[in-house]
Amino acid sequence: MKKIKHPHLPLYYEISREIIAKIQNGELKPGMQIPSENEIIKTYHVSNTTARRILLEIESQGWAVRVKGKGTYVHRKKIERSATRILGFTRNMIEAGFTPSTKVLKSCVRQKGYSKMVAGRRYFIKGPVFEVHRLRFADHIPMMMEKRFISMQFCPDLDKNDLNGSLYDLYDKVYNIRLSEMIQDLSAVMMEPDILSCFSLEKSIPAILIEGVTMCGKEMILELEESYYRGDKYRFTVRAT
């Protein structure tokens, strides 16, 4: 039997803390199975009532999720992204404690402009429009792939800039542009093979597709966007009133 360090605390609580500590120190990693009811009974010599209570405690604290008929798994923490706040990937990642990086996959200039439906309305940006596809990483894990279509009327010579950092910083510092509003459609789609290959994933997974328009003043369309956020890594938070 393992030593229990604080005998004045309830046993179930003590043991649940011990297992949670293993999750916190990384011994039990996201997606790994935590000890089952039977394993807890054997390891800690407790009753099945206590074992169940331990699992319930770990689960209710948000450290693990029970999958019916399969077991209890360490919670895969997803990145929370507010959908109602204009926030670039770079800053979102830094706030979440990751190191962001970017790989430009493709870029070109569309002389004829570009248009897109968002929230039931078609938005059109007159040419020339700068199109750039970028893969965005957190600690070297590809998290999302974005296609952006940016007005070169607002951002002349955009293609001459370094596109591996935050575009929001470029808008702000190089072009002195203030973003005023963003309208986005969120939908759930399966990743198509071309998108999937960007993420080096073999099997298709669901993605959150964001189709959006960003304004920099009344009726002034700065950019259109089509981004694929990995469904296994992201969650969007919305506040409604």
Residues that bind a copy of itself (CB under 8 A): 60-62, 78, 80, 82-86, 115, 117, 119-120, 122, 180-190, 205-208, 229, 231, 234-241
Q: What amino acid occupies position 218?
A: K
SS3 57: helix
Q: Which is nearer to a copy of itself, 7 or 120 (CB)?
A: 120
* Spatial contact of 101 and 84, defined as CB atoms under 8 Å apart: no
Q: Shortest approach of a copy of itself to residue 195 CB, angstroms?
A: 12
Q: What is the spatial distance between Cα 67 and Cα 71, in angstroms, rounded to a whole number?
A: 5
Tokens of residue 145, six digits? 């792939």
Q: Which is nearer to a copy of itself, 44 or 64 (CB)?
A: 64
Q: Shortest approach of a copy of itself to residue 166 CB, angstroms?
A: 16
SS3 per residue for 135-168? EEEECCEEEEEEEEEEECCCCCCHHHCCCCCCHH
Q: Which is nearer to a copy of itself, 32 or 189 (CB)?
A: 189
* Spatial contact of 144 and 228, defined as CB atoms under 8 Å apart: yes
Q: Shortest approach of a copy of itself to residue 7 CB, angstroms?
A: 26
Q: Which is nearer to a copy of itself, 44 or 196 (CB)?
A: 196
Q: Shortest approach of a copy of itself to residue 2 CB, angstroms?
A: 28
